[in-house]
Chain A
Amino acid sequence: NAGVTQTPKFRVLKTGQSMTLLCAQDMNHEYMYWYRQDPGMGLRLIHYSVGEGTTAKGEVPDGYNVSRLKKQNFLLGLESAAPSQTSVYFCASNLQVRGQPQHFGDGTRLSIL
């Protein structure tokens, strides 16, 4: 079972460049999430989606955009990358049942120079 797959796994960008991170899940989950993980900060929610075509802001949404055109995919975009966005990004998904555990991908390590 693939579960949650994130691409790419690593990427280096220059300041001002744009890119899109892709998250795909094969578990038919309704809810999907994007987090960033920084040393000493745990995971912080960037954006999330409760279903196809719907997105909402999380704790740290500035500088990021998201789209959920298909139920199985959740895209995270950086329009103009900044060094402060250097981080490890995790995608997660779960069922539309209260308190269900989130299933995480293995992360995308992004460096902005």
Chain B
Amino acid sequence: TQLLEQSPQFLSIQEGENLTVYCNSSSVFSSLQWYRQEPGEGPVLLVTVVTGGEVKKLKRLTFQFGDARKDSSLHITAAQPGDTGLYLCAGLQGAQKLVFGQGTRLTINP
């Protein structure tokens, strides 16, 4: 069973559209990280959210941590082809162990 459920698993939209990716769990995490992965490379950290209800913005990307620290969302405004990639959420268990979601494969069509 997957501790962190990401949805959707696949998303293909046109350039300029908005989108939201969800990361849900029944478990509470002390923090949650979002990574982006390009083909042939390892994941790279985008952001860490720590406090329940926290919102962080990274240019056109907005990340939110749920009030109960069980879920998170990633919203992209005016998506661009350069946003194409695999987006992974990961919850922190204990001091250092991360539990990853299945990932959302995002394709932005020109």
Residues on A facing B (Cβ under 8 Å) = 4, 31, 35, 40-45, 48, 50, 58, 90, 92, 94, 96, 98-102, 104-107
Contacts and interface: CB of A to CB of B under 8 A. Distances in A.
Counting contact residues on chain B (CB < 8 A from A), the size range is 20 to 34
A78 to B, nearest CB: 20
B78 interface: no
Say what secondary structure dominates the interface of chain B.
Answer: loop
21 contacts: A4-B42, A31-B96, A41-B2, A42-B4, A42-B6, A42-B88, A42-B101, A43-B98, A44-B100, A48-B96, A58-B97, A90-B43, A99-B50, A100-B96, A101-B33, A102-B45, A104-B42, A105-B42, A106-B40, A107-B40, A107-B41
Contacts of A43: 43, 88, 90, 98, 100
A92 B40 CA distance: 15
Interface in B38-55: 40-45, 48, 50
A106 B33 CA distance: 19
The 10 closest A-B pairs by CB, nearest first: A104-B42, A101-B45, A42-B100, A43-B100, A42-B102, A99-B31, A106-B41, A104-B43, A42-B103, A98-B95
Given A43-B43, A92-B42, A107-B40, A102 B98 contact: yes
B101 to A, nearest CB: 5
B92 interface: yes
Contacts of A98: 30, 92, 95-96
A43 B97 CA distance: 12
Contacts of B33: 101
B9 interface: yes
B53 to A, nearest CB: 17
